[in-house]
Amino acid sequence: MDLITSNILTIVAFTPAVGALLLLFYNREHVRSIRAFTLIITILAFVFSLHLVAHFDSTNPDFQFAIRVPWIPSLGIDYSMGVDGISLFLIVLTTLLTPLAALASWSIHDRLKEYFVFMLLLETGMIGVFAALDFFLFYVFWEVMLVPMYFLIGVWGGQRRIYAAIKFVLYTMIGSVLMLVAIIALYIMHGEATGTFTFSYIQIQSAIASGRMVLGPNIELWLFLAFFLAFAVKVPLFPFHTWLPDAHVEAPTAGSVLLAGVLLKMGTYGLVRFNLPLFPEMSHLFAPIISLLAIVGIIYGALVAMVQPDMKKLVAYSSVSHLGFIVLGIFSFTTQGMQGAIYQMLNHGVSTGALFLLVGVIYDRRHTRLIDDFGGLANRMPLYAAFFLIVTLSSIGLPGLNGFVGEFLILLGTFKASYMRAAIAAVGVILSAVYMLWMYQRVIWGEIRNEQNAGLLDLVGRERAMLIPLLILMLWMGMYSNHFLRPMDASVAKLVNQSQARRLEFAAGRDIAR
């Protein structure tokens, strides 16, 4: 048992990679067994990740299930992973969404084996990003994950897939290479300040927090910006968002689900994990500007979503809007805002994941995603209409469903930081109701206008299986939010305290300087 607990993160992260390796030896003609094998592997990873939840100590704000093995000792690089209240559920979200995404891939026939190999590798990369506690290891996962996503979009995507795939990689790369420079700079400065050369996140972070390693304001500014750019592109924060609609629209359904559900969260996770604790002064200094960008993103994303004729593009722009909320919550520096932001990361993964799955369901049947091609689907697909309604309501934050809790906490936290920001952001909540309900109305209600929709089948067993877990989660996270919030408490409180304490110090220092 102890052996399992001490290695559980390795097991969770690398189960999919091992599965991908085994999958290579499958005969490509055996479509059914390839599908079944992938599904089993991803479910296995999910079950293993439940071990994390079951044995997680909610009172402990530090990293748990930690593992640390020297990797490149001469450079102080370790294979080091751990989980705290912030990353715990993000890992479980990843392992939950991947089997559902695999289920949504039944319509893929071309080069199925490679498709699932890439999907499994992607899962390992995503889990690794959330679990890594070594800067080098983090960067490795962060970059390596681009490759399978590039293939998933570029090979199995829609019409303009090549453009979208290259744009996705280049945008992300431009953001992240500067982070690499910043990581090495941190490593060298930590080594020169303390005498220990290490890429360990915990050691470098504590050296900064304790003042053993002092970055001048100038250096801190550049390092902050380098990390921020990498994450802002990934989030994506306005105005770095232009890759997102392309990637989403062109990606296959499973790709969109994982892109929206997990990949975007890496950006917000990075802000929480790296920017805030490593560069608290600059985070506070830039908070007004970043919050402004977040608010612009909220309103802009919502307005653009409203006029989209394509359902997938609509959901993509709604992500820009929703992710703006998350960033706003993070940079409120309040416990509520931070918790709401992390909660909303999970919510967005569940709701938007479900939305993309739903769009995928009718796309598989009709090979179109244009809102105008549908209408009156409730007549032919009552169960689909019901599921769609719950997901829509969850996405716009109806009380009782998950979205409400997150948005409420974020707005509460932001209100404490600034009335103005909260007031403007609240407009975004209204707008999201407008575009979501309007789409729902045009697609589901009314009479069937298009003859081709007259013969549509309702959800089949496989499709129900991939949607029901998410619907249950929406209700569960809406009704019993404490089940999810409590494990975060300790870690979030630690994070907020740290940055607040530093802010007071910073302010005091400024007063003295004056």
Partner 1 sequence: MNLATINIAAILPSIILSIFGIVVMVAEPFVSASKKTALAWLALAGTIAAMFALIPMADNRGQWYSNLWIVDDYSVFLHFVFLLIAAITILTSADYLRRENMNHPEFYSLLLFATAGMLMMAGSNELMMVFLGLEILSISTYVMAGFRRTDLKSNESALKYFLLGSFSSAFFLYGVALIFGATGSTNLTVIAEALRSPGTSPGLVELAAALMLIALGFKVAVAPFHAWTPDVYEGAPTPVTGFMSVGPKAAGFAVLFRVFLTAFPSIQDRWASAIWVIAALTMVLGNVIAVVQPNIKRMLAYSSIAHAGYVAVALAAVSETGVSAALFYLLAYSLMNLGAFAIVTILGRRGDKFVHLSDYAGLASRRPVIAALLSVFLLSLAGVPGTAGFAGKFFIFRAALESRLIWLAVIGVATTVVSFYYYLYVIVQMYMREPEDEFADVTMPASVKLALVVSVAGTLYLGILPASVLEWTSSAALNALR
Q: Is residue 460 part of the contact set for partner 1 (CB under 8 A)?
A: no
Among 63, 150, 231, 384, binds partner 1 (CB under 8 A): 150
Does residue number 140 form part of the binding site for partner 1 (CB under 8 A)? yes
Residues 6+ apart with CB under 8 A from 489: 58, 85, 339
Least distance (Å) between residue 508 CB and partner 1: 32
The smaller minimum CB distance to partner 1, of residues 76 and 360, is found at 76
Using the rule CB under 8 A, give the single segment among 179-187, 286-294, 459-467, 472-480 that binds partner 1: 179-187
Residue 130 within binding range of partner 1, rule CB under 8 A:
no
151 or 415: whose CB is closer to partner 1?
151
HEC profile for 464-499?
A: HHHHHHHHHHHHHHHHCCHHHHHHHHHHHHHHHHHH
Task: State yes or no: residue 433 binds partner 1 (CB under 8 A).
Answer: no
**Whole-angstrom Cα distance, residue 430 to residue 407?**
12
Residue 285 as a binder of partner 1 (CB under 8 A): the answer is: no
Q: Is 465 among the residues that bind partner 1 (CB under 8 A)?
A: no
Q: At what angle do helices 161-194 and 146-156 cross, to 10 degrees?
A: 180
Closest of 268, 389, 270, 256 to residue 314, by C-alpha: 256
> Least distance from C-beta 174 to partner 1, angstroms?
5
Place of tokens 């001469």: 74
Give the nearer residue to partner 1 in terms of CB position, either 125 or 297: 125
386 touches partner 1 (CB under 8 A): no
How far is the C-alpha of 76 from the C-alpha of 425, rounded, in Å?
44
Question: Which residues in 38-97 contact partner 1 (CB under 8 A)?
Answer: 71-75
- To the nearest 10°, report the CA torsion of 305, 125, 109, 154: 60
Among 18, 66, 184, 221, binds partner 1 (CB under 8 A): 184
Q: Report the nearest approach of partner 1 to the CB of residue 162 (Å).
A: 5
Does 135 engage in binding with partner 1 (CB under 8 A)?
no
Q: Which is nearer to partner 1, 84 or 114 (CB)?
A: 114
Q: Shortest distance, CB of residue 203 to partner 1, whole angstroms? A: 17
Residue 112 as a binder of partner 1 (CB under 8 A): the answer is no
* 506 scored as a contact of partner 1 (CB under 8 A): no
| 136, two tokens | 């080098």
CB of residue 72 to partner 1, shortest distance in Å:
5
Residue 436's SS3 state is helix
Q: Does 217 bind partner 1 (CB under 8 A)?
A: no
* Angle at alpha carbon of residue 208, lines to 205 and 209, rounded to 5°: 85
**Residue 247 engages partner 1 in binding (rule: CB under 8 A):** no
Q: Is the dihedral of CA 408, 411, 413, 416 positive or negative?
A: negative
Calpha distance 427→298 (Å, rounded)? 9
- Closer by beta carbon to partner 1, 234 or else 502: 234
- Do β-strands 64-72 and 77-83 pair in parallel, antiparallel, or remain unpaired? antiparallel
**Cα angle for residues 437, 443, 447 (degrees, 5° grid):** 120
C-alpha R_g of the chain:
22
Smallest distance from partner 1 to CB 218, Å: 12
Dihedral (Cα; 304, 310, 312, 316), 10-degree rounding: -10
- State the virtual CA torsion across 468, 474, 479, 482 in degrees, nearest 10: 110
Among 18, 31, 67, 166, binds partner 1 (CB under 8 A): 166
Residues 299-338 that bind partner 1 (CB under 8 A): none
Binding site for partner 1 (CB under 8 A): 71-75, 111, 114, 136, 139-141, 143-144, 146-147, 150-151, 154-155, 161-162, 165-166, 169-170, 173-174, 177-178, 180-181, 184-185, 187-188
